[in-house]
Structure 1
Amino acid sequence: MTGQVMFDSHVVARLEHAVALVNALTDGEARGRPYAAPGGTERWAAIEAAVPQDGTSALARTADGTQAELLAETARRMREVFEAVQAGELDVAADVVNALLHATSARPRLDRGAGGDWQLHFHGANDSFASGVGASCATALALAVGGGLAERLGVCQAERCDRVYTDTSRNGVRQFCSTACQNRTKAAAFRARKGAAG
């Protein structure tokens, strides 16, 4: 699908949170190096960086191990969605998203924001931070998978990198999690061509 249908800004923000949580809280490889997800107090710092306070959420942030572990488990499940989509297994992706929606008790509701405007949230007013963020991310993934935009969810195609991304570009041809991975791949291809020619 080309750039004719895109996510709205609210969904993009929640997908960005999902990507940031998956990339911060799951083991694997990042930009050509092994990546170990942080634990302990570093885990909460990674969560804070992945889901910055933007003034639109009434969810209370409490830096505790239980909340951090819940978000880490949610991130591991969200990674399964990206990997299933990448493999062309949309039924698997949908099953995982449904399980996430159920586990986080995701449900849409309108709440008044700080400025008095109505804002769409995907969690209850009294949900924990981990549950609320998980519900919002799960709903955004559901909108992507169920809205004909699953191909916009990807896993980096660079060698030795498995970080995920959401392609919000107009033409929908993104293949890498970052410019660094794209440049690394181009440089490797250039060296290979140069070696073959010499």
Structure 2
Amino acid sequence: MNFDSHTSDVVAAAVRAINLLTPGHTRGREYTATGYDDYADRSPEEVEELRAYAMGLRSVFAAVDDGRVDDACTTVNTILRDFQAAPFLTRHDGEPWHLHFHAPDASWARSHIASMATGLAVVLGNPMHDRLGVCTAPACDRVFVDVTRNGTKRFCSTACQNRVKTAAFRARHRD
């Protein structure tokens, strides 16, 4: 499922930020989300600001996964309002004109969250909103966007899928 290039890119960035910056479990292990390696070009303060907002975005995926689309939409609307997300065209860094969804003077983290919330709003306003999910593997709560053709993805990664399938195989052969 490809919503459009901009929406798909910012929703993928939201998944990345949520999965890297929020604690929980991943691939059967506890995940503390204390590293900054993937955001090495940003200051620790900027990453911490993004981490605080990523928790709110995580709740959007969890709500959709639980069938609480109204709650997800309410959360996204609150973020959009709080961050004053509004579209404007800009050109920078040798790129052509393109849309941004944040105040021109917003901090790095606030600009990313405003864009991510806008991308999630586009997804939630789409019949394919159920493509947002939380991994169903035991001891994993990472989020994902189901981009498969048939919309049946249940795991955040091939590693989690293989872990579950291997456990089921071993259980069948033990009996």
What is the TM-score normalised by the length of structure 2? 0.92
1:9 is aligned, of 5, 11, 17, to 5
The amino acid across from 1:183 in the alignment is N
Paired position in structure 2 for 1:63: 43
Residues 33, 153 of structure 1: CA spacing in aligned structure 2 closer, same or farther, 3 A cutoff? same
Name structure 2 gaps, 5 residues minimum.
none
List per-residue Cα deviations over 1:112-146 (Å, max 9, x = no partner).
24446221111122211011001011111111111
Q: 1:27 aligns with which of 19, 23, 30?
A: 23
CA separation of 1:103 and 1:70: change in aligned 2, threshold 3 A = farther
CA distance in 2, matches of 1:117, 1:75: 28
Q: Establish whether residue 195 from structure 1 lines up as the match of residue 174 from structure 2.
A: yes
Give the Cα separation in 2 of the matches to 1:175 and 1:62: 32
Identity %: 45
Residue correspondence of structure 1 range 40-79 to structure 2 within 5 A: 42-43=35-36, 45-46=37-38, 48=39, 63-65=43-45, 67-79=46-58
1:21 CA drift (Å):
0.8
Write the deviation string for residues 60-95 of structure 1: whole angstroms up to 9, x where unpaired.
x75142x33321111100110000000000111011
Is the counterpart of residue 178 in structure 1 residue 157 in structure 2?
A: yes
Structure 1's consecutive aligned runs of 4 or more residues displaced over 6 angstroms after TM superposition are none
- 2:135 aligns with 156
Map 1:26-175 onto structure 2 (within 5 A): 26-38=22-34, 42-43=35-36, 45-46=37-38, 48=39, 63-65=43-45, 67-115=46-94, 117-175=96-154
- Note the residue ranges of structure 1 that are not aligned, 5 or more in a row: 50-60
* Contact 1:113/1:119 (<8 A) preserved: no
CA–CA distance in structure 2, aligned partners of residues 155 and 98 of structure 1: 21
TM-score (norm 1): 0.82
Query: 1:193, CA displacement in angstroms?
Result: 1.4
3-state DSSP of counterpart to 1:117: coil
User: How many residues matched?
Assistant: 175
SS in 2 for 1:110: strand
How big is the shift at 1:149? 2.2
113-122 or 178-187: bigger deviation: 113-122
Cα distance in 1 between the residues matched to 2:149 and 2:88: 30
> What CA distance in whole angstroms lies between the structure 1 residues aligned with 2:169 and 2:161?
12
